[in-house]
């Protein structure tokens, strides 16, 4: 028996047999010289392969009609990449200067592009490299006459083990047969991770050497919640996990039954539990988990899928579909968190040496006011369909907030001139993600209708830890005394100004943290939808006054380890 560790991506426990899917590996690419007279023929072969790849993508999209919203738009994004004129131009220039066969040229151009993107510290840009690899491999397969195995044709239940499952494969696979996903690569923010969560498939990514250590038909236990994969479990472990699977399914069914009940402590203190989404199609599933609304709609997904600046109508339709699906429940739309290395091909600017501290999020939007107003107009137009809130990311001071609000007012004026209706009462909130925002939260609260704490970045900036750097990521501890004090200060500033304090970072769905966050005074928790029932169960099982005592003790602990021990003993 071997225990393999990775990153928890989607919760759930599955016992099953492994199926290795290594289709993301490139075939051996031939390399040979061609004459000047043969170049046009090679380019004709490339054109035919592009046409065949585009037809293949169209067929995959047609066969995946049940996939909703922007999930299906991944196929559209890949179609744009297949037919991208800049990519075609690079291929033509390279073959006309190097006189090598087209398969090798396509592989070389794609490799250079992906290498540039893969070294980015930004996870979204690294995922663009995955998309380029997907598209170029598809073209090369057609050039070489290679037919791939289709995951859509799966006819047995499997645990899919792959090096790095591509988004198009995830969309087209027979999801009723894929019971769990295990990958060597990938992160919780990748497209494939997003899709796995949306499909409810337990998943563990970043399992080093999974495709070398696991062979076809091996018995596996996948514990998505703990980020653990057990290979060839012994009888005792197998029986224990069989019981765990039954218990998990039973407990989860019971937790889903809490959907009609409020998130209220035993002594009557009530908070709101909302969901984070990235794909419009996710909205229709939220009621199943008891979500009271959407606390974070990451709108940049609309931009990153196509790699282009999403136009106003595309954004309007996406926002409207989400708002309608929520049937009057609140929807908080965060304006795009783009910038630094996370740039759109149509908006390239000079490369930054430290993009995580560069022109990103609200800074990026303010630097492109017309693009910013386009997004704000789309949100305003959609607001008539329900209850909409607008949230500005990575605000570091009052100047940025006032400038963003000013552009919002300009967008409202443009809507009025165009006779485009929008809701009269749209709350405008500030996302607290930097220590500077916390330290000036009293001023920000005067111009905000609500706060939402983005713990992913707040922890990173407060502790000077790049959470994507495996050498120091262990230091990104949410129970660090500095982090707890920053959270408490934000909540206190919000309440002093008479506004609510929400949290939409990953910490909001951390079960052991729920009583502590309650005790710190948090008003709203927003998380991955599947986490809501378990968090609600904890909230309904505790006493608010005791949670406040817990928070007092935690705030007086000198180290994150002591806080963790306190939480473990308290639970």
Active-site residues, by number, are 191, 504
Q: Measured between alpha carbons, how far is residue 201 from residues 283, 399, 459, 542 in Å?
A: 17, 44, 28, 30
| Residue 484 φ/ψ, nearest 5 degrees | -60, -40
CA distance 253 to 190: 28
| Residue 339 φ/ψ, nearest 5 degrees | 130, 180
CA distance 153 to 125: 31
CA distance 211 to 542: 43
Q: Give kind and range of the element (H or E) at residue 160.
A: strand 158-162
Q: Is the dihedral of CA 103, 106, 112, 114 positive or negative?
A: negative
**Helix (H, G, I), strand (E, B), or coil: what is residue 227?**
coil
Cα of first residue to Cα of last residue in the chain, in angstroms, is 31
Distance of CA 30 to the CA centre of its chain: 37
Is residue 287 a contact partner of residue 539, using CB atoms and an 8 Å limit?
Answer: no
Is residue 340 a contact partner of residue 352, using CB atoms and an 8 Å limit?
Answer: yes
Residues 6+ apart with CB under 8 A from 548: 519
Residues 6+ apart with CB under 8 A from 493: 438, 441, 442, 444, 445, 451
């Amino acid at each position: 028996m071997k225990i393999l560790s990775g990153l928890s991506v989607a919760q759930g426990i599955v016992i099953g047999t492994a199926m290795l899917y290594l289709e993301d590996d490139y075939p051996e690419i031939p390399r040979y010289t061609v004459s000047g007279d043969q170049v046009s023929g090679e380019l004709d072969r490339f054109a035919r392969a592009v046409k065949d790849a585009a037809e293949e993508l169209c067929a995959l999209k047609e066969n995946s009609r049940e996939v909703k919203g922007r999930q299906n738009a991944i196929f559209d994004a890949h179609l744009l990449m297949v037919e991208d004129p800049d990519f075609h131009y690079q291929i033509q220039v390279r073959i006309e200067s190097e006189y090598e066969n087209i398969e090798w040229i396509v592989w070389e151009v794609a490799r250079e592009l992906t290498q540039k993107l893969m070294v980015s510290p930004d996870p979204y840009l690294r995922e663009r490299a995955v998309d380029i690899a997907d598209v170029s491999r598809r073209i090369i397969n057609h050039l070489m006459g290679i037919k791939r195995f289709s995951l859509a044709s799966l006819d047995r239940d499997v645990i899919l083990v792959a090096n790095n499952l591509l988004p198009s494969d995830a969309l087209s696979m027979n999801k009723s047969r894929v019971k769990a996903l295990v990958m060597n690569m990938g992160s919780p923010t990748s497209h494939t991770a997003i899709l796995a969560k949306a499909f409810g498939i337990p998943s563990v990514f970043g399992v080093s050497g999974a495709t070398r250590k696991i062979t076809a038909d091996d018995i596996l236990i996948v514990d998505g919640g703990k980020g653990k994969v057990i290979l060839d479990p012994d009888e005792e472990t197998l029986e224990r996990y069989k019981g765990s699977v039954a218990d998990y399914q039973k407990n989860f069914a019971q937790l889903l039954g809490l959907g009609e009940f409020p998130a209220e402590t035993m002594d009557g203190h009530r908070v709101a539990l909302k969901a984070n989404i990235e794909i419009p199609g996710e909205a229709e599933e939220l009621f199943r988990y008891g979500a009271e609304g959407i606390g974070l709609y990451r709108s940049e997904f609309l931009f990153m899928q196509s790699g282009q600046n999403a136009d106003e109508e595309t954004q309007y339709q996406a926002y409207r579909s989400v708002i309608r699906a929520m049937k009057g429940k609140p929807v908080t739309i965060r304006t795009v968190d783009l910038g630094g290395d996370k740039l759109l091909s149509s908006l390239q600017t000079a490369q930054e040496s430290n993009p995580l501290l560069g022109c990103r999020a609200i800074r990026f939007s303010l630097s492109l006011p017309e693009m910013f107003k386009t997004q704000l107009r789309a949100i305003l137009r959609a607001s008539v369909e329900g209850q909409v809130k607008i949230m500005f990311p990575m605000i570091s001071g009052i100047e940025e907030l006032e400038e963003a609000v000013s552009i919002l007012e300009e967008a409202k004026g443009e809507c009025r001139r165009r006779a485009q209706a929008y809701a009269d009462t749209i709350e405008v909130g500030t996302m607290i993600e930097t220590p500077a925002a916390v330290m000036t939260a009293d001023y920000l609260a005067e111009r905000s209708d609500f706060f939402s704490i983005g713990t992913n970045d707040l922890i990173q900036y407060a502790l000077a830890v790049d959470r994507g750097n495996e050498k120091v990521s262990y230091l990104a501890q949410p129970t660090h005394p500095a982090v707890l004090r920053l959270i408490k200060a934000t909540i206190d500033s919000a309440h002093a100004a008479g506004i609510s304090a929400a949290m939409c970072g990953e910490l909001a769905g951390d079960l052991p943290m729920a009583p502590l966050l309650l005790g710190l005074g948090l008003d709203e928790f927003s998380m991955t939808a599947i986490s809501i029932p378990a968090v609600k169960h904890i909230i309904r099982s505790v006493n608010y006054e005791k949670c406040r005592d817990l928070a007092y003790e935690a705030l007086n602990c000198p180290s994150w380890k002591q806080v963790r021990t306190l939480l473990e003993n308290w639970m």
